[in-house]
Amino acid sequence: MHIHKLEKIWLAIGIAMLALFLTVLGISTFAFGMAPPGGHHAIDPEKAQETAPFNSLGLKKLGDNSYEAVMLAFAFGYEPQTIEVPVGAKVKFTLTSTDVVHGFAIPRTNVNVMVIPGEVSHVTHTFDEPGEYLILCNEYCGIGHEIMQAKIVVKG
């Protein structure tokens, strides 16, 4: 097979640019101290309901208008089903799944997290407007996926 001289030149330039890009990326990663997020927390998904904090599901008051909602995602549902907080409440959601990958999304907010079996996920949001907020699973989790929901009631 014969490759034209100009094709060889452009092929060499392309490979050199790729090597340069990967070298710069690798050096900058180490220079800036980039690393995956720390604080990785895993539990046994089969024993999630026996493991703290998931052995005590629900809303806990942490401070002045600050709460933690410990929730469990399972086949086509969340536990607890309803959470009530006052307007202006800052809620830290602590989540895990017992079976398959689920989603945890609250429309009209920036809350959107993947809930993986055995992995403990955290997301925080401040609810500034009263009303009902729907919690939806946005990861297909099986035949009853469309009925998987819970709600947050923000009282004024």
Distance between CA atoms of residues 24 and 21, nearest Å: 5
Among residues 30, 54, 76, 127, which one is catalytic? 76
Q: Tell me the residue range of the domain where 134 lies.
A: 45-155
Confidence of residue 92 (pLDDT cuts 50, 70, 90): very high
Can you tell me the mean pLDDT for 128-135? 95
What total number of domains does the chain contain? Answer: 2
Q: How far is CA 110 from CA 105, 113, 123, 132, in A?
A: 8, 10, 10, 16
55 plus 92 within the same structural domain: yes
**51/114 same-domain check:** yes
- 40 occurs within a structural domain: no
What pLDDT digit, counting tens, does each position of 33-61 carry?
877 666 668 888 888 888 889 999 999 99
32 is catalytic: no
- For the question of residue 104 being annotated catalytic, the response is no
What is the reported pTM? 0.74
Task: Kindly state the tokens that stand for 150.
Answer: 């819970």
Domain membership of residue 21 (yes or no) is: yes
- List 21, 30, 32, 74, catalytic entry: 74
Encoded tokens for 50: 């026996």
31 shares its domain with 50: no
Residue 11 has pLDDT above 70, yes or no: yes
Asked whether residue 17 falls in the same domain as residue 57, the answer is no
Indicate whether 10 belongs to any domain: yes
Dihedral sign for Cα 9, 11, 17, 22, please: negative
Q: What is the pLDDT of residue 44?
A: 86
